[in-house]
Structure 1
Amino acid sequence: MAFQGARVPLNWWQRAAVVAGSAVGAALNPARADLVAALGETTGGFAFQRMLERMERSPEGQRILAERPRVTSSAMSRAWDLPPNTFGAAYAQFMGSRNFSPDDRPPVRFLESEQLAYVATRAREVHDFWHVLFSLPTSVMGELALKALEFQQTTMPMCFLSVAGASWRLKPHQRDALFREFIPWAFKAGNSATDLMCVYYEQHLDEDLEDVRSKWGIIPAPALRKK
């Protein structure tokens, strides 16, 4: 599998500079996917290693590592033709209604091991599947709730730092709901779900959305209240 862009080796002080700069930038603007990605790569080495080890122990995870599927617009094109009750159709509606393209994800740059770089790429590319499965919007509140769930599933420091650093952007009542309602939900849902990095999502697109939620132990998020 070919990765876009060149991976960039960093010494300790360069890594520290990237961590500091991306952490501040991502807290100020959580929509900066490149900064969030850089923070994840430079702080998540141990977490990516643990994800890799879990995938190597899982039959479905082993197939993912062997075949290295990519979530790209061409690979996902058939989702737009699936029946409306299916997981794939829900994904297509989610992406299409927001004018998102799976090709817009920034490439992995700061992980030198190709195997870990693929795991990081996979984690990045299945993020939108998780939005669909857990019924979370792409608002700041929705992203932070999903980051809390991702932390429960992956232990990536970036997920914790994103919640801690960007929650200040919420209105007081939203911040209160995040910590009283959505973070407890995230830890319960993350613990209930199967290991989401070991799911070959592309092979389940034509299955009923509620069936895959049940099969994978998915607990959808509480509805976001509009105020």
Structure 2
Amino acid sequence: MGKAKKTGTTAKTSSKATSSSIKAQEAKKKQIFKPILDNPYTQSNIWPFIEPQLGLDIVDLLEVTLKTGKDTSDIVHGFNSTVGRLEKQAAHNRGMHKNKSIAQIKYLFVCKFDMSPPILTSIFPVLSFTSSKNAEDRVKLVQLPRGSMERLSKALGVEHCGVIGLTGEINQAKPLYGMINANVRDVEVPWLNGLFEKNAKVPFSVPNIKQIATTVGAKKSSKKKEK
């Protein structure tokens, strides 16, 4: 009985010591505030809205176009190929490149809901704006409904193709062009209005700075080693 009582006392003492140790560590933690700078020029709300039925109709017409003309140079597909082409187009249209024979992408299709992470597709609104010829001749950005990637990849005979660019020169795609021109608005990027109009008003947004409360542990004292 004496041994059992002694063991119980030892366990209680150990538990108290552990509890005191945790409290001591918590007491040493210091609350600090970390500044977080957020980008006020967000791109999440500048994708042109596509009605669900319109999105399905566009996929149907695009699928037919890809099946019949996938080998033409008027169709660019794949993330890297399309982005690279749009960047060259933007440089050409801003007078940085003098190559007059460049074929202009006019319609940009993105399987936004089939691609992750979201940051992967966040570049396309601004890229489609900057690669446009002028204010009257914009690149049309079309976000396609979920499940489009599988259908379009199959039509192209490739895997996981979520980005496709078309020029405006494909004869069999005229019904597709007409549907998009009539129903899909141009991308508007207010803070880049000066790209096409020198005297355009460019809105300025105040930087969005927030303070987040967090804690840090106490610094360990460094002891000099004895030689």
TM-score range, shorter chain: under 0.3
Larger radius of gyration: 2
Higher relative contact order (CA 8 A, sep 6+): 2
- When normalised by structure 1's length, the TM-score is 0.26
Higher helix share: 1
Greater strand content: 2
